[in-house]
Structure 1
Amino acid sequence: MSENIVEEHDFELDSLCCAAAEFDEKALQNLVLLMKDPAWRKALSKRKHFLECQSSLELVAESLGLERYVGAGNEFVSLALELGFDTPLFRECYASLAKQVFASYGNPAGLAEAIGFREPDCEISTIRLRLQMMGELKVGAFCYDAAFGLGKVSHIDGLANEIALQSDRKRSLRLRSFFDSQLMVKNASPLHNLLQRDKLDEKAEQPGYLAELQESLLAQPKQQQEAARKILLARFLSEEDYEALAAGRLSLEKGEPQDAEPEGQSGAPPRDLRRWDQSRNLDELLERLKDGAKAPSDDLNLANLRQIFRFAAVRIEQAETFANASAMLYKENLLGEHFAAFVQELGGAGLWSDEELFVEQTDKLALKLIPAWLAATQLAKGSQYLVDAAVKLPYRLWTHIEKLLAKNPEEKDLLAERVFADFAAGKVSAEHYFWLWKAPKSERRSEYLANSYLLFKTLHQDVKGNYLRSKRNLMKLLIDDEKFQRQIMNMGDPYAIRTLVRCVKHQPLLDKSERQSLLVKIVRHYPQAIGEVEEKSRSRKTIANITSLRSYAEAKAQLEELINVLMPENVAAIEQARSHGDLRENSEFKYAKERQAFLASQRAELEEKLQATKAIDFAEVKVENQVVPGCQVSLKYASGRLETFKLLGLFDSKPEDNIIAYDSPLGKTLVGASLNDELQLPSGDNAVVCEIKALPQELLQWLNNSAS
């Protein structure tokens, strides 16, 4: 759509909005026609234009009020919702329209709350979807739940705001929970007709049929695709048939999809689809196993089970289904003596080949299936694989693995040896620490628990999910648990005490109150620690706020540009927006005012920094045997590696060139250090100061370059 057409439509929109706001019914009808115009709708993809139109249309919404909408007024509000206009006023209009459309619903206030009209965090697309679901809601309507599968609405209690569902069992949901958990099948849609018929017909052979089934669900496209797939696999198709349907080449025989013949059973009799071992895919198998399947007394169809498991094994998107099905087969002992050989054939499955995927899916499994799944994994991949994966799992799952290993005397110590090896290599997590803390007392246990540097390094790690809980609990042990604190100090060992005190005082892990509290507890446990706790900092005096001449000049130039260029431009922009006098000035004026506040904040920050900081020539700094701002310091790590840092002022940090500010965590550690001092760095590494000297001449010239 060209800019000229956009401008024409903008002019037309403004004119129509002005007239419609003055209760001109003809203008309102023409406005509705414009809102249906494909070209006008396409232009709304530009965010700025969308906001301008929204601002104009709000005038019309305000004139319509919140009473009963009729004719063009009703259509206007419905179109505004469809197009996604979202302001508090529009939301009130949508709530009023919903009250009118669903007047027979027994609890209007409950309905409005369930839809979320007045929740700022609820997106307008979610509100629109919930209203569409409400329009389809009736007794007998089909719906799909990712956890419970396909179901039907059996009762609607408007007064109580509850929906009763019938799937594998009866359930009752609050209306809001129903909206959030269910995908509804549109009434009289292709999928609705298929479910009513409970049988595929010749339409399934037509191109595009799968897309029609997917679009029959009220959901986002990705959810539509996955839900349609699950429904079809559970009731109508095998995996092979589904792929054929997706490719548009499904062939039906006597009104039913052709079943793929199991391996080695060409010419076999038709499957008894009521038997779990005759399932056409893993989704169907899981549904039947949940119904309490029992092992067939004879002729177990292992060939069919191998086929459907192999099909899922190479598909990452079916990893969760694969894990659940494997665990349930083991838990119910449905394959008996055949199980070990069965899973060993599947050892190359994507879920077991990708360790990160294995850890992710194992963490997601229901707790009751965890022991069976880990046992199946041990049979498929061996104990060493299980141990290697165990140390990456949340600690709550480690006990299950220890129980499995304990069954074989030769393997019972595998996990312990792996954990100790990780501690020796310094590559541990909070999960490792919990295992070590609860492990039997030993010399190695005491040695690794007394490594405060490694403990603090571990607590610095970024983690999420269940691992975050372990990290928080480990921090709680450090702060509050007397036995743990004593063990970290190796029951009073002077070196262990000194190490912990240094970590507490110098590592940026704890806040001020936590640091003070822990130091007090250390002295209470071991009074001899008082000397370490009260040791004065190496720094001889407080360092004034200083920076290089170059950085000071750059900050000053930035302030001058702000005052002399950017702020006057902003004032002009505000005046221009105010003088427009048309319906679009609001968005421009709001943006200009927001920028005014941002520029004012920047100016105050720069002025404060410049006023509190002194620019110096680092060439005048006298460098001797102690680290000071304006020197170059070389460190030698325990590994033998050398690294050199240039220590400068507040605004001079350039980490990629090892140029650091003296107030940075590393800078604070270095300032005041003397030659041959051993330091514990914020990274957790130990290093010795092996050289302190003046800054290179070329760096000093660069720092003074913009002084003139």
Structure 2
Amino acid sequence: MHPDVAKLVEAGRIPKPVGERLSQLAPGNFCLHKSFGAGKVVEWDLPSKKVTIDFEKSPGQTMELQFAFQRTEWIPADDFRAKKIEQREELHVASQNDPVGMVVHLLESHGGSMTVDALEKELSGTVIPEKSFKKWWDTTKKALRESRRVVVPAKRTEALVLRSTDVSPADSLIADFEASKDIKGMIRALEAIAADIGAFEADSTPLKNLLNDIDEGAKKAARVQLGQALQLVAARDEVIGSSKALELDPTAVRLSDLVLTADAEKLAEDIGTLPSGRQRAIFEAFPTAFGEEWVEKMVLVFDRVGARGVTEIARILADRTELEALENHLRSALARRALGPDALIWVCRERRSTASEVFGADVGASILNLLENDHLSDGPRKTSRLQTLLNDDKTLLVDLVEIMDVNESRNFARRLLDCPVFGDLEKKSLMARIIKARPETAELVSGESGRKKEEALVVSWESLERKKAELDDMIRVRIPQNTKDISIARSYGDLRENFEYKSAKDLQKVLMRRKGELERDIGRARGTDFKGSDASSINIGTIVTLVDESGQEVEMTVLGAWDSFPDKKIVSYLSEVGKSLVGRVPGDAVRVRDTTTEAMQTLTIRSIRPYNP
């Protein structure tokens, strides 16, 4: 106890426990604050109840003694965090000369464990220069494993654990496995054993007993957690493969046993969540599990095992000269537009090597089909990586259109221009690549031939407002309501036999198509009140008087693109009758269809006058 504090305790002014805690805040002692980090007490003023502490993150911090009592905790002078304050250079030297000893010291100061992320936060930029930390840690990690003084995890977010000095490394590894509370913990423990298999060189008996005990856990897990059971057995096999002294018991459960008894759809789903190395081990068990049917079974899960899975399956089939089966499957799926995004990405990336035999026009159509369907879906996007590939791979579109004939390349370019997934700038960038490879597709953008460039629509202000109101209702009311209906219908269960869901999805396609039509039409529209129309011939905004063969007069008004009211004898200039009349002058005879009887009749133009709204 500090002498000044001891006097206060002896005088009965403060209790002994308070005096002991107060002494921990005496000048020269070290403490830890949750926000400011470690600090050294510089001075205190007991009469005014204040203390000044040089914290690592806040030097010269003056605090009320009561506040310091509550917010700090004492640490010994040999604590790593205390040494960082006054002995940083010594720690830096230790990090180079004895990195294992320094990490052990750090772990001891943190209760025996801390994550790699926390370790980096403690050392990088202070004890070790930030730019050299990664290289230092890679070297130190290897040295830690070799020392067997610390359990080094496979993932940064998991904890480094200091091993007890009175327990052998082998016993510690076995104890870690036995202390595991679930399958994930057992898998992590097996990974640590495989990484430190040298600890069992002297005596592998405890490890043999442990591996035999895995069978029961794997069989139980397979019924409800197939993916974890597969990982557990694969991790066991990795341990056996890393040791010359271990052999798999003939009666032990094998990966092929789990694969054979699993439902194909569930198997593909669970495999897709595993690391690449584990996936490959499982796929390599297919021949043992399925015999002569192994290739067929593997091809069936190709589309459903995720990005890592499709790569591993292709490698295995190529290694065993069985690629023809995969190629046949891909051709069929591409023709049916049934290939998933991960498989399509693989085909595109391997188009000059493994997938060269199936890379053709169907790939382009499948990509656009998948993007459009995903865009209309109400669920999470599944094609983001596919769209990114299309943008980032500068030669993909070039390679696609170069193997298409003229009509195929034009149709593909036209579909891309109409695809709602891409923005205007994105379309321009993608089309520039296509045009460079196939110049004949430039007409789709310039409008010089093929599909003519869309001309402006002359419309009345009233009809334009009606279109805008319809589009507004579509965007604010009908489409949101349809999205809700889809969500509700989805909750009813099995989508394959869900009539409500199918109906709602069909309506979604209709609504999205109508929305696109309205947006295009409104974008082309030019509103007018038809004042000042030229009446020297029949034009938009004129009233024409015609005479039929019996001498009876008929009066028609030619107005805008969306102004068609047959009962009032008002026709659109784009209608069949309107097109027959526009440009004609008095005295001309025209053949038009009667708007009531639909019969063709010959009419003679008598006079033309401007429309006055």
> TM-score, structure 2 length as denominator?
0.47
Structure index of larger Rg: 2
> TM-score, structure 1 length as denominator?
0.41
More contact order relative to length (CA 8 Å, sep ≥ 6): 1
